[in-house]
């Protein structure tokens, strides 16, 4: 892996492979770029830039401000250092929040499209917002991370998959549990705390890049109403629904996911302005 040196001296690991339109892959909480291993076959058509976000994977040692804002700044710095143009950002869960922050601020001009994989604009419910997680669920997760991270991480690795877990995905689920548990609990807790503080609803309307909203029909976190609300908030969005996936369609239905990415990238050149629509896969 290569390393980008952030403004605070942190070393952020990434891979840069292939040629063509750049795809910038941003993983979820407790994951790393290896969770997009099924997307590496897209290197035949695209330039694949896969990043281990600060505090995760090969960037696990990186400290500093472990916030969504800092993670977005790291990604923007990598995009600038690599002189990316016309990129498509693919953000899964936490990675979608990092992508939204960047698209609405520094670095957004380098991106021509966005793919959001099973995420909500606000994680914690409250007031008039009920399309995230309850405050009780968020507090329970915070407590579990602090008190018994290994058990929490192992369960979370299983839970990203559609339940009950298909036999064909059992090895993937066990691998996810193992990889989640390798993280530093304190660092993950800090990123999680920042994620709970985010509310992107006011800023999503400023994101003009076409967006593909990917929703797993069996997600244990966010339902179809969350995806539909996102499509209304974003000026230029469409939804693609994965009927056999939970929180991780790019792992559970990789061939169909990769086909959807290719089709979306093709449409960027042909139809830059679209009404929100919905596709089932």
137-150 per-position pLDDT tens digit? 999 999 999 999 99
Residue pair 185/145 in contact (Cβ under 8 Å)? The answer is yes
Q: Does 90 score more than 90 pLDDT?
A: yes
Q: What is the pTM of this model?
A: 0.94
Q: Is the four-CA dihedral 240, 245, 249, 253 of positive or negative sign?
A: negative
Domains along the chain with CATH numbers: 2-280 (3.40.50.1820)
Q: What confidence tens digit (pLDDT) does each residue in 210-219 have?
A: 999 999 999 9
Q: Does 279 score more than 80 pLDDT?
A: no
Q: Does 273 score more than 70 pLDDT?
A: no
Q: Which comes out higher in pLDDT, residue 153 or 269?
A: 153
Mean pLDDT of 193-215: 96
| CA angle in degrees (0–180, nearest 5) for 273-278-281 | 125
Q: What confidence tens digit (pLDDT) does each residue in 220-260 have?
A: 999 999 999 999 999 999 999 999 999 999 999 999 999 99
CA 263 to each of CA 258, 259, 280: distance values in angstroms, whole numbers, following the listed order? 9, 6, 14
């Amino acid at each position: 892996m290569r390393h980008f040196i952030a403004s605070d001296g942190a070393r952020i690991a990434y891979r840069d492979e292939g040629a063509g339109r750049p795809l910038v892959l941003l993983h979820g909480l407790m994951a790393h770029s290896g969770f997009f291993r099924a997307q590496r076959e897209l290197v035949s058509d695209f330039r694949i830039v896969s990043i281990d976000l600060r505090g995760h994977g090969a960037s696990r040692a990186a400290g500093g401000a472990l916030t969504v804002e800092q993670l977005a700044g790291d990604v923007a710095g990598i995009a600038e250092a690599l002189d990316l143009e016309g990129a498509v950002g693919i953000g899964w869960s936490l990675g979608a929040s990092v992508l939204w922050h960047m698209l609405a601020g520094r670095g957004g001009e380098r991106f021509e499209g966005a793919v959001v994989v099973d995420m909500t604009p606000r994680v914690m419910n409250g007031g008039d917002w009920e399309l995230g997680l309850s405050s009780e669920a968020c507090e329970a997760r915070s407590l579990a991370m602090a008190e018994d991270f290994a058990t929490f991480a192992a369960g979370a690795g299983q839970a990203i998959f559609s339940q009950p877990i298909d036999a064909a995905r059992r090895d993937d689920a066990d691998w996810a549990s193992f990889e989640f548990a390798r993280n530093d609990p304190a660092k993950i807790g800090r990123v999680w705390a920042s994620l709970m503080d985010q509310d992107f609803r006011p800023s999503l309307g400023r994101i003009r890049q076409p967006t593909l909203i990917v929703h797993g029909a069996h997600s244990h976190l966010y339902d179809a109403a969350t995806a539909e609300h996102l499509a209304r908030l974003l000026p230029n969005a469409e939804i693609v629904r994965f009927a056999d996936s939970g929180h991780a369609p790019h792992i559970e239905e990789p061939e169909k996911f990769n086909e959807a990415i290719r089709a979306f990238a093709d449409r960027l050149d042909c139809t830059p302005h679209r009404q929100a629509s919905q596709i089932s896969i």
